Structure 1
């Protein structure tokens, strides 16, 4: 269990707009960085991460805090002006791996690539027709076996 400093909690809550009620996004009214995320405290920590740690639990090592409200909103344009980046409602936050965070967001390339069922030439990505590999930088890549065979034969 986390020990919560009541003064830190009070200072945090003073910068949060909760007027929409418990189910709405709680907008951070304090400082924000150039990427549109709220910042809190002397360490300039992510406000959504602080909210999770103050009101839910410590974020386990290796995990990041995901805004579930962003993933559910199909009208959100994403990017630095995304209003969900300022949401600190702990009911909207979840600790997940960075991979899961990227796959959930409809605004990321990993999300779009994971949703593809066919290669650019129309061959289906199946277990029998797909090579899976990691690049030198560690990125996951899929390659169509049919296209590879055709390319090597040419």
Structure 2
């Protein structure tokens, strides 16, 4: 089993319920065990004019290979009405592999650690709830350093 961290986000169709449904679906994935979930956070959208997002991070132990897990996450998104129209558009559900064990992955479909993780308080602060204080990413960046460089601005713990 590999410990992975999944970022969850939604800003359409009852976002908190979207996240709860996604967490249930994650817990039912074959070869996976949901082992932890952060609090939910409200955050401003990165694109102007969109509703606020609800975000969280889940810890999952899995036997799935990275791309198998990505396919499973995208199937959950589709089941919950995700339409991939615009890169930064509103969405019923967004599931991102933030960290996959201690692996650094650079595939056309998947980059881990997630390429914007370091600049997103709506990912870093929920992640910090699930890992030890001295946690380091696979690329050896300390989570504490990333948090220090990414203030808790625009976030509301729900």
What is the TM-score of this pair, normalised by structure 1?
Answer: 0.25
Structure 1 or 2: larger helix share? Answer: 1
What is the TM-score of this pair, normalised by structure 2?
Answer: 0.24
Which protein shows a greater Rg? Answer: 1
Q: RCO higher in 1 or 2 (8 Å CA, sep ≥ 6)?
A: 2
